[in-house]
Copies of this chain bind each other. A is one copy, B any other.
Amino acid sequence: MQMIKTAVVGASGYTGMELLRLLLMHPNAQLCCVTSRQYAGESLASVFPRFAKADGSALTFIQPEAKLIKDSGAEIAFLALPHGVAAEYATALLELGIKVIDLSADFRLNDQQVYEEFYGTPHPAPELLQQAVYGMPELQGRSEAIREAQLVASPGCYPTSIILPLVPLLEAGLIDPQSIVTCSMSGVSGAGKSSNVLFSFCEANESVRAYSVPKHRHLSEIEQELGIAAGTPVTMSFTPHLVPTHNGICTTTSALLTGDASKISEVLEKAYADKPFVRLLGENNPADTKNVTRTNFIDIGWAVDQRTGRVLLYSAEDNLGKGAASQAVQSFNLMAGLEEQAGLHNL
């Protein structure tokens, strides 16, 4: 059986932990290197008691140095690092011949000026932007590009839940690209493994609120991908909310219909019926986060609101799964020449 030597760089947060969980169970991945400045020298099992007595859990965290990662034999490295930092490691690892799947925002935007507008800092490695592939395998031509890529920019959690339902409708010209209004609700793990008292149990429980208004950073990659699908620049309204669940993102998107409403189902079916991780729920059947947590699935339902001439799109995914770690493993599978679903059969 083919075994790919794999590193996870920056494995101490929730996305890193989910990557470890998936890779420890992956039949074709051999976790050979995990890094963490904070935990260097400690075993995986001692940092994450959940993993104790699992195969591979005796592995020890090392310092995040490109040379050490190379020495571990890693062929593909996941970066679960803050933006800005990720780009440095990507550059160094690529030079050492290691393929990189970056889960930060550093390589998701084609345009370095948009990066600077939304992230407030010059791009740390603009020369790599053209080479990076935005790792959403369900988009047209994308899985082929990922197979060939040295550097994949794995998408953000909100973008995945917004882009996938909209793209087929934009491509088919069924909706007005300037009329999109989206509300998303994210579980608290989306804020990371944080010591901010705002995300403490007593502050987050029994609390629902919007945040990062009105211009969340993820808008940049969402509008980029929607613009590609629409064939014209897209500007949209997006409001993220924090809700008291551990994980899961529920997204509701509304857009004015410009085409034939009766074609919506057909267009979505054509786009996704054969995609292993997209589940179409049908009309008037909103998606529920509880059905997708800890999986790589995204569930999509829809409704036509005749009264307002709008289509409503309902999607649900795991912000740490299809919105982060498992989608990155999906790219890993493609880059490594494995079956797209390898190691992603979790239910």
A interface vs B, CB < 8 Å? 14, 21, 24-25, 49-55, 181, 183, 185, 187-189, 193-197, 199-211, 213-215, 235-237, 239, 241, 243-248, 250, 252, 254, 276-277, 279, 281, 284, 286-295, 297, 299, 303-305, 307-308, 310, 312, 314, 316, 345-347
Residue of B nearest to A51 (CB): B347
Q: A200-B199, A243-B244, A290-B203 are in contact. Are A208 and B193 (CB under 8 A)?
A: no
Once the chains bind, are A250 and B208 in contact (CB under 8 Å)? Answer: yes
Q: Closest CB-CB distance, A101 to chain B, in whole Å?
A: 20
Please give the count of copies of this chain that the complex contains: 4
Q: Closest CB-CB distance, A186 to chain B, in whole Å?
A: 9
Q: How far is the CA of A343 from the CA of B243 in the complex (A)?
A: 31
Q: Which residues of B are found within 8 Å of A295, using beta-carbon distances?
A: 50
Once the chains bind, are B55 and A345 in contact (CB under 8 Å)? Answer: yes
Q: Which residues of B are found within 8 Å of A49, using beta-carbon distances?
A: 279, 281, 288, 291, 299
Q: Which residues of B are found within 8 Å of A51, using beta-carbon distances?
A: 347
Q: Closest CB-CB distance, A304 to chain B, in whole Å?
A: 7
Q: How far is the CA of A281 from the CA of B290 in the complex (A)?
A: 31
Once the chains bind, are B24 and A207 in contact (CB under 8 Å)? Answer: no
Once the chains bind, are A239 and B254 in contact (CB under 8 Å)? Answer: yes
Once the chains bind, are A200 and B194 in contact (CB under 8 Å)? Answer: yes
Once the chains bind, are A188 and B202 in contact (CB under 8 Å)? Answer: yes
Once the chains bind, are A245 and B207 in contact (CB under 8 Å)? Answer: yes
Q: A239-B254, A347-B51 are in contact. Are A214 and B304 (CB under 8 A)?
A: yes
Residue of B nearest to A249 (CB): B208
Q: Which residues of B are found within 8 Å of A195, using beta-carbon distances?
A: 195-197, 200
Q: Return the 10 tightest CB-CB contacts between A and B, nearest first.
A: A183-B183, A210-B286, A214-B305, A208-B250, A207-B290, A209-B288, A201-B204, A188-B201, A214-B303, A181-B181
Once the chains bind, are B202 and A200 in contact (CB under 8 Å)? Answer: no
- Of B200, B211, B279, which is within 8 A of A200 by CB? B200
Q: How far is the CA of A236 from the CA of B256 in the complex (A)?
A: 12
- Of B194, B210, B276, B290, which is within 8 A of A53 by CB? B276
Q: How far is the CA of A235 from the CA of B151 in the complex (A)?
A: 47
Q: Closest CB-CB distance, A199 to chain B, in whole Å?
A: 5
Once the chains bind, are B235 and A307 in contact (CB under 8 Å)? Answer: yes
Q: A201-B199, A244-B201, A244-B245 are in contact. Are A250 and B210 (CB under 8 A)?
A: yes
Once the chains bind, are A189 and B208 in contact (CB under 8 Å)? Answer: no
Once the chains bind, are A202 and B14 in contact (CB under 8 Å)? Answer: yes
Q: How far is the CA of A210 from the CA of B289 in the complex (A)?
A: 10
Once the chains bind, are B345 and A54 in contact (CB under 8 Å)? Answer: yes
Q: A53-B276, A183-B252 are in contact. Are A205 and B201 (CB under 8 A)?
A: yes
Once the chains bind, are A289 and B209 in contact (CB under 8 Å)? Answer: yes
